[in-house]
């Protein structure tokens, strides 16, 4: 079934189109693009874990420096401060690494779902 603007949608058993539409707008190509913009060029590009790798290197550096220069059980206070600061930096960089990896995996999964939906629906 053609809905105008060159957009083709399958119809259900009742004859109504199966493509998602906004109830207050006409079923046009512009309405479908506004509702489901489809994958952009950035999403189609492959995974990019550079930020995650950089923050992981920062976490490993904080761990190494804290182990080499700090001492929690030592008598001098400055050794304890170095160790605790390195532990905080390790925690911060570790959390950033997890955040960056999760956002990149989310981007990849959304792009794959959009491509699969686009291939299955025939509404694009």
For residue 45 the two structure tokens come to: 């590009």
- Where are the extended beta strands (E) located within 44-124? none
What are the pLDDT digits (tens) for 107-124? Answer: 888 888 888 887 777 655
Q: What is the pLDDT of residues 49-106, one digit of tens each?
A: 999 999 999 999 999 999 999 998 988 999 999 999 999 999 999 999 999 999 999 9
The whole-angstrom separation of Cα 47 and Cα 45 is 7
**Which of 80 and 14 is assigned the larger pLDDT?**
80
- Res. 28: pLDDT tops 60: no
Domains of the chain, residue spans: 1-37, 40-121
Rounded to the nearest 5°, which phi and psi values hold at 56? Answer: -65, -40
3-class secondary-structure state, position 38: coil
pLDDT attached to residue 42: 44
Name residues whose C-beta falls within 8 Å of residue 17's C-beta, 6 or more positions apart in sequence.
1, 3, 9, 10, 11, 27
Is the entire prediction scored with pTM above 0.75?
no
Q: How far apart are CA 105 and CA 11, in angstroms?
A: 34
């Amino acid at each position: 079934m053609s809905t105008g603007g060159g957009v083709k949608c399958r119809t259900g058993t009742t004859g109504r189109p199966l493509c998602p539409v906004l109830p207050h707008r006409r079923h046009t190509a512009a309405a479908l693009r506004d509702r489901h913009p489809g994958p952009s060029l950035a999403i189609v590009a492959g995974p990019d874990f550079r930020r995650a790798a950089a923050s992981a290197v920062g976490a490993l550096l904080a761990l190494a420096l804290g182990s080499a220069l700090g001492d929690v059980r030592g008598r001098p206070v400055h050794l304890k401060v170095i160790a605790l600061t390195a532990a905080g930096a390790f925690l911060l960089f570790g959390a950033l690494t997890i955040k960056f990896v999760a956002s990149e995996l989310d981007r990849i999964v959304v792009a794959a779902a959009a491509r699969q939906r686009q291939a299955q629906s025939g509404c694009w």
